[in-house]
Each structure stands twice: as C-alpha cells, then as structure tokens.
Amino acid sequence: MATQEETFKKIVAHCKEYGFVFPSSEIYDGLGAVYDYGQNGVELKNNIKQYWWQSMTLLHENIVGIDASIFMHPTTWKASGHVDAFNDPLIDNKDSKKRYRADVLIEDQLGKIEEKIQKEVDKAKKRFGESFDEAMFRQTNPRVLEYQAKWDNLHERYSKAMNDMDLEALKQIILDEEIVCPISGTRNWTDVRQFNLMFATEMGSTADGTMKIYLRPETAQGIFVNFLNVQKTGRMKIPFGIAQIGKAFRNEIVARQFVFRMREFEQMEMQFFVRPGEEMQWFEHWKQFRMKWHKALGLGDEKYRYHDHEKLAHYANAATDIEFLMPFGFKEVEGIHSRTDFDLSQHAKFSGKKIEYFDPDLNKSYTPYVIETSIGVDRMFLSIMCSAYKEEQLEGGDVRVVLNLPAVLAPVKACVMPLVKKDGLPEKAREVMDLLKFDFKTTYDEKDSIGKRYRRQDAIGTPFCITVDHDTLNDNAVTVRYRDTMTQDRVKIEDLHDLIAKAVDMKHLFRKIVAE
C-alpha cells in the first residue's frame, strides 16, 4: 500500500502528465507556488466554476454576479484592514533555513492532541461495541481527560497570543511545546515576525505621479465597493447576494502542497447582505447550503467536516470552515463568515459616502450585515482530483489508473473511436461526434489499440468511450464502455445524446441540493 504522501506525489505527477496542471514558466525552472492549468485542467476548473456560479445565480433569484477588477483604489485595503492586519506570524528554523507560520505549527500541535484523544475513543469503541457511550467516555476516562486538559491549556494560551498578536508569546508556546522543525528535527528557532501577505506594485508612469497599489488578496472587497451600484441598478431588496469569481494574490510564507496554497489563485465568493440581527440564522442557512453543494458531487460524505473558528478575524462574529479530507489530512476548502457590518461601515468611513440600505418593510435605513461564503477554485480542484485518483488492480496483474471524476465535472464527456482506421469507420465515427459535439466536450481517437485508447480516457476521467465498429454501419448502434465499471453496452446512435445528458447534466445536482 502506498503511503498518503506517495499517493499525493503520484497525483501531482499525474496532473502534469495528463495536462491538468503544469508548474508556471517551467522552462525557466518554475516559479514558487504558481501553477498553470493545462488542456484538461482548465476544462475541469471551468466546470467547477460553472457548478458554483449556477448554483448561486440560477438557484437564487436574489443573487446576482459581478466581475470586478483586480486593481482597486489603494484606500480599499486601508479600509478593509488588509494594510494593517493582513499579516501572518512567521518563524524560521535556523538549521534547515525553512520558514513556517507560527500559528500553523501550534495548530498542528493541537491537532496531534486531538488525534490522541480520538485514538483512545476509537479503541474503547471497539472494545465496548454497541453499549459504548462516547460522551460519557470523553467525560470520565482519565487518559482522555489528561489530553483534554493539555489541549485546553494550549488552546487558551494560543488564542490569547493570537488575539493580542503577541509574537513573543507565540514563540514561547513553540518552545514550551518542544515543537521541532519537520526538516531538521531541531528546536533552533528565530523570533516570530509579522509578514504582510499583499503584493504591491505601482500604477502610473511619472516618478511623482505613481501610486502604490496592491494585487487584491481576496475578491470580496470588489463586491463591497460595488454594493450600492448593484443594489440600486438591480433594484435588489435585502436579503440579497452578490457573487464573484476571480483571481486573488497572496505572498504566502509557506507555499507547499501543490495548488492547495498558491501565490496566485482563484476564489469564488458570495457576499449575502442581510438585516442586522438576522445574521446568525443566515449564517446557519449558508453553512448548510454550502455543505449540500459539496456533498451533491458524491465524493463521499465522510470526507467533509465543519471546523468552527477559535480565533475570529477582526471583522467576524462567527466563522466556520468546510474541510475536506486530502491525502495530507482534513484541510480548509471553504470559509463561511459572518462579517457583521464591518466592511460596508469601513468603506463608508474611508470614502465619506453613505453606504446604507433603505428597508421599505421596516421603513428605515441601516448598514446591512454580511454573510460570506468563500471557496478556492484550486482547492476544490485539488480535493476532486485527490478523491478521483485511483489505481485499480485488474485481473491478470495489470494496474489501471482511473479518475473517477463526477461526470458533470469531467473535462471530456465522451471519446468517439472507430475500431479501425478504414472501411468507412472513421467517417461514421465523425458523424457520431457531430451529433454530440455541440452539447458535450467530445474527442476523437483512432490511434493504437482500443484497450490503450480506453486507458488514455480513464486517465483523464472520460465517463463514456464510444466505439464504432463494422456492425455500426448496418445497425446504427455503437459500443459504449463505461469508465467506472468498464462494462459495455450496445446503444443505438440516436440514444447516445440522452444517455450522456442524463449523466452530465448539472440540473441533477441542483435538484439534489434543493431537495431537502
């Protein structure tokens, strides 16, 4: 059995070999934590974006989209708090010269204690079987209580240090907990320092006419500064939402784990404006809705969990993450935040403009509260790739590498193959392709044996392979081979369209989401 780390390496290699993701400017040896999507990656990514976009704008008549610029007036980032507070505490190990986020090192330590507790619980569960009372066990087992006390203590110190941004206290925790650098194995740490994550550049050409501007570190602010524009021109009534998909940039300290943490990445964010006082019920609503959106893809319900935030950002009064089980553990894919009226109030203050909403039902004006759902396209892409990648042992000792991608997201839906390159089969195959290609991303392949062609399609996750053979010329039927089961069916050409549509139509997912 391959370790999780080996599996992850294989997934990264597979992404490159099959045109999903390449290192950026690879011929110059790449650029740290920047990646390019290849011919298959971009299709998968576009499908993810479409799934998100449509689930927002089609399923909700009160959600509309925008596409704001990456460059924004620099005061935006003063108002949002990013100039002063978008910092990560960093620490270096003097032996390995590796740089870490101090908060991540401590959170990993908390995670290790949680794992120990879980191990005790799992052991006891096995021992006691049906009669096991987990809550009681957690409250009374001396080992668990000891770990829990340790966790509570560490957590309290950590929360306080983060809330006060007390860098010395953070370092002291790392020393007291005897946290070692995973590379050098030593505890030879530098002091903890603050590091602003925004990329800056200059706009304008003359020396005294230039202005320092930032590449946006999140898409959300483009929505907030357009709140009045959209509300007024769209005649939007509270509650309503504004959705946006776009690039964001962060000068991440530690860029690891492939497209999980990039310096240029893409976000899908939706800001939902509500009446003050109603934010908690909307927060709950969006928590549930977003989880349903994830689970409808069928990657496995057990791979998701919520992680409520211990430390709230300066703007939030509630926050949770949706985490996905990657090969390197449960990791944040999406954040859901109750941002209060912080952003709109700040922009009102810094711009001197009144940013309020007149509520005709209440007959008064107020600054709306905001619930944000914020998901990284690239992390979503990675979670899908990780759950889809399979190495199957076949009879006869062969190994098949297959991507069990949800059919709706697969880059290519069907590949049409003439059995041989003669006897009129290629022409017939082209006819079949012409029937499908306006609705589905369809490819044509006539090279190598059918078996090899199947494997190529398996490796990029194509759900349907359609083979045109000599019988097709008489019976107008083809052999459809299904990716997941490798079984084959004889299907009439006229039925192909419906067969594929049934499997790849997003509306089936949307129905699932709104069903409950």
**Binding interface with ligand ATP (CB under 6 A):** 218, 250, 252, 261-262, 265, 267, 332-335, 374-376, 378-379
Cβ nearer to ligand ATP, comparing 224 with 357: 224
Q: How far is the CB of 505 from ligand ATP (least distance, A)?
A: 27
Q: Minimal CA–CA distance to 50: which of 203, 243, 233?
A: 243
Whichever of 44 and 412 has its CB closer to ligand ATP, that residue is: 44
Q: Which CB sits closer to ligand ATP, 261 or 483?
A: 261
Distance, in Å, from the CA atom of 221 to the CA atom of 242, rounded to the nearest integer, reads 11
| Minimum separation from the CB atom of position 249 to ligand ATP (A) | 9
Three-point CA angle 369, 321, 14, nearest 5°: 135
| Min dist. Cβ of residue 103 to ligand ATP (A) | 9
Residues 6+ apart with CB under 8 A from 507: none
Q: Which is nearer to ligand ATP, 157 or 250 (CB)?
A: 250
Query: Where are the strands (E) in 46-161, listed by range?
Result: 63-65, 87-92, 99-101
For the CB of residue 93, give the shortest distance to ligand ATP in the complex, in Å.
Answer: 20
For 93, 161, 328, the CA distances from 189, given in Å and listed in that order, are 5, 18, 24
Q: Which of 311, 323, 81, 343 is nearest to 220 (CA)?
A: 343
- Phi, psi for residue 290 in degrees, rounded to 5: -65, -35
Beta bridge partners of 93: 189
d(CA 465, CA 421): 17
Least distance (Å) from ligand ATP to the CB of residue 322?
8
- Nearest approach, Cβ of residue 314 and ligand ATP (Å): 13
Residue in the shown chain whose Cβ atom is closest to ligand ATP? 376
- In the complex with ligand ATP, the residue whose CB is nearer, 279 or 372, is 372
Q: How far is CA 341 from CA 156, 227, 233, 357, 375, in A?
A: 28, 12, 21, 12, 21
Closer to ligand ATP at the Cβ: 159 or 186?
159
Buried b (16+ CB within 10 A) or exposed e, 465-490: bbbbbeebeeeebbbbbebeeeeeee
Distance CA 516, CA 513 (A): 7
Residue 83 or 401 with smaller CB distance to ligand ATP:
83
Shortest CB 75 distance to ligand ATP, Å: 21
Toward ligand ATP, which CB reaches closer, 34 or 228? 34
Beta bridge partners of 326: 329
Residue 68 vs 262, nearer CB to ligand ATP: 262
The amino acid sitting at 272 is: F
Quote the least distance from Cβ 238 to ligand ATP, whole Å: 24
Angle in degrees, CA 404, 409, 415, rounded to 5 = 75
CB of 28 to ligand ATP, least distance (A): 22
